[in-house]
Structure 1
Amino acid sequence: MELVAVEGLSSRLNVINSFTDMSDPEDLESLVRQLRPRLRNVIGTTIGKGGEGKTTVTANLAYVLAQAEKERADRGESAKPILYIELDSNGNGRLNFGVRGLPFDDNGLSFLDALTDDKELQVVSGVRPHLDMVMSGSHNADIPTAVTKLSGKHGLSAYLLLAILLAQISHRYRWILLDFSPGDKMIQRLGLASCTHLLAPMKGSDNAVIEGLGTLAGLVRQIRRLNSEVAISSLVFLGYQRRNGKPTSQLTNLREKIGMLLDRANISRDVLVEAYIRDGETTANLARNYGMPAGEFARAAAGVLVDPETGEYVEAPRDENGRLVDPQRAFDIADDYTNVAKQVIQRIRLRNEVLQGADIA
């Protein structure tokens, strides 16, 4: 694990310097068209309400995708790393990977400077095999103020700063995962202007879940001038019980309710991911406390996780009462994330084929 400065990046501020509120709309459209093909491996995770598990879902999907790349490399096939970026100021993704408070954790200062002041982008390489990460934290809270100031001078183009940055590094990564909050509109705009595929995690069955989805759909419509390709590609459900290998009526009823809303909006029900994350909040919290994604935590619980630095087996995790974690329960949840990741990426690849076909046409 090391901190790496990404070299060879062009000035993001120079790109937007020629824009103002009075700029020709066609100039902005031209910039957007140039950016879009380079951002089709960018997946954004967000939803219109908090507490839906977006950071846990995003971090675990990043880990699953990185493991797939490691397996490709082990087979001698071409492999690229995965990049995880959290735009939120709480920086909780650092907990999922156990990197919070380590020497390179600057609470998002370098990311703020790279995004809004053209400083070099710093990436933590090798957080896990084939998984890189941009540090986030309290300094991310300064991003909205800095971008708002730039937008006062350069108009809508300021909201493309993250997209311009990612377009320059996207070729280095198989997938870039953006985790951004529903709480701040500026952060939402930066994230929505950058990603091509949206993943919306859904937890619970109250009306707030439906309202959150409606809020997200509205934000997508509002960002069209800055991103003509962004769309909700996957709705992922987590925290639902399973009996005899099947979901309970709580989930099936919610799926149908959302399905009818999708029908009315002329959106395919294919965005409803069949695989889901079963109820396992206790296990998820323990995994985060131990700084491990679900798959890694399961192997630790089974006593087969090896510390790459010492070469020794990692001590099996215990709950708050000192009891050993149930390995089967941990593996069940890890398998759920793997199945969800496969179905999400399948949808994204199919959608990318359509977008690339439109380029040729």
Structure 2
Amino acid sequence: MLSDDEDIPVVDRASLGRVIAVANGKGGVGKTTLAANVAGLAAADGARVLAVDLNGQGNLGLDLGIRGGQADDDGRALAEAIADGRPLAPVRSVRPELDMCVGGTSVGHLPALLSNRYQFQAERQALMLAVSLQQVAGDYDLVVIDSPPENPPLQQLALAAARWLVVPVRSDRASIHDGLGGIARQFALVRKKVNPGLELLGVALFASGSSSRAIRREVRHDVEEVLGAGAPMFEAVVRHSEAVARQSRSRGLLVHELEQAAAANPAFWKLRTGEASRDQVVTATSASVAEDMAALTREMFGRMAELEGDGQ
């Protein structure tokens, strides 16, 4: 829990104006998928992007294809930089124009490390990612932070460093009330204590059968029960495909990259004759999911530009 501190580090909020935290209090709602693909799409469009994996599971590294490789230090460099207040030292060029701070077990231990080092300085603890990030943020057009579920101290680190919050949700009522309710409490706390400029950019729906208008209306109703009337939701909806999710993560490909790989699928006759394996086939559904993800990303950037233009 954040409390009043005397020794609060100075944070240059202008340098963090293009930092997006992707967060939800519940797991399995599409946080890492959204963070990885938004970062990848922005980089593919020519923006300089930094992706920060503030999760002890390190799944962002799986989605970007570096988990278990030479660049994977299990979050040690990220955790040490935050604890010391030093500049982040990202892995360079995991994709063209895309750098990454790797997560993992060391990041999971970060709350205990910060608590021991900065005892009774809860606000300082919450601001340490912002302190480290502001020293490198000028090198990037966009920073995307993937945060963990059910870990308030790490969520506070992400929210305290961000200008914008994006919350992915599933369509089930329990997921919205539990997950969205949890991150809403952290959002309100961080805004009050250390980051009054933090804004909710929007809630994004990840759901099977997402074309159903009835489901969208029900989700909006449930979201407004938690956040209040007029809570911002994105119109674009990313449909869920288990095949796309599994193939993307197992191959270390983003959804638009998986779509491109589908163009090289072996001919059906090669499968029938055994010249090619079913394991080589990329699901055709990747095209639809890639289109959804691109639409959501465009809407996110459009809304961010609109709000920036309004001076928010």
TM-score range, shorter chain: 0.7 to 0.9
| 2:159 is the alignment partner of 1:202 | no
Offset at 1:172?
0.8
Q: In 2, distance between residues paired with 1:92 and 1:203?
A: 19
| 2:254 is the alignment partner of 1:287 | no
> Which residue of structure 1 lines up, in the alignment, with residue 92 of structure 2?
125
> Which residue of structure 2 lines up, in the alignment, with residue 232 of structure 1?
200
- Shifted more, 251-260 versus 50-59: the winner is 251-260
> Which residue of structure 2 lines up, in the alignment, with residue 4 of structure 1?
none
> Which residue of structure 2 lines up, in the alignment, with residue 68 of structure 1?
45
| Structure 1 pair 343–186 and aligned structure 2 pair: CA distance change class (3 A) | same
Q: In 1, distance between residues paired with 2:197 and 2:160?
A: 9
| Structure 1 pair 35–119 and aligned structure 2 pair: CA distance change class (3 A) | closer
Q: In 1, distance between residues paired with 2:92 and 2:280?
A: 34
1:197-250 residue CA offsets vs partner (Å, 9 max, x unmatched):
1000011322232232122221111112210011221111112315xxx43522
Contact 1:240–1:251, Cα closer than 8 Å, also in 2? no
Offset at 1:299?
0.2
Q: In 2, distance between residues paired with 1:160 and 1:108?
A: 18
> Which residue of structure 1 lines up, in the alignment, with residue 103 of structure 2?
136
| Structure 1 pair 297–145 and aligned structure 2 pair: CA distance change class (3 A) | same
Q: How many residues align?
A: 299
| Structure 1 pair 22–168 and aligned structure 2 pair: CA distance change class (3 A) | closer
Residue type at the aligned position of 2:282: V
TM-score using structure 2 length: 0.88
- Structure 1 outlier segments of 4+, above 4 Å: none
> Which residue of structure 2 lines up, in the alignment, with residue 166 of structure 1?
133
Unaligned runs of 5+ in 1: 1-19, 70-79, 305-319, 357-361
Q: In 2, distance between residues paired with 1:22 and 1:173?
A: 31
Residue type at the aligned position of 1:344: M
Identity over aligned residues, as a percent?
27
Unaligned runs of 5+ in 2: 266-276
Contact 2:176–2:222, Cα closer than 8 Å, also in 1? no
Offset at 1:283?
1.3
| 2:116 is the alignment partner of 1:149 | yes
Q: In 2, distance between residues paired with 1:167 and 1:218?
A: 25
Q: In 2, distance between residues paired with 1:235 and 1:160?
A: 24
| Structure 1 pair 101–257 and aligned structure 2 pair: CA distance change class (3 A) | closer
Q: In 2, distance between residues paired with 1:22 and 1:193?
A: 15
TM-score using structure 1 length: 0.77
Offset at 1:21?
6.0
Q: In 2, distance between residues paired with 1:92 and 1:204?
A: 22
| Structure 1 pair 218–128 and aligned structure 2 pair: CA distance change class (3 A) | same
Offset at 1:290?
0.7
Aligned residue for 1:200, secondary structure, equals strand
> Which residue of structure 2 lines up, in the alignment, with residue 300 of structure 1?
261
> Which residue of structure 1 lines up, in the alignment, with residue 303 of structure 2?
347
> Which residue of structure 1 lines up, in the alignment, with residue 212 of structure 2?
247
Offset at 1:91?
0.1
Q: In 2, distance between residues paired with 1:225 and 1:352?
A: 23
CA RMSD of aligned residues (A): 2.4
Contact 2:173–2:222, Cα closer than 8 Å, also in 1? no
Q: 2:20 aligns with which of 43, 50, 63?
A: 43
Q: 2:33 aligns with which of 56, 80, 92?
A: 56
Contact 1:198–1:230, Cα closer than 8 Å, also in 2? yes
Contact 2:133–2:161, Cα closer than 8 Å, also in 1? yes
> Which residue of structure 2 lines up, in the alignment, with residue 12 of structure 1?
none
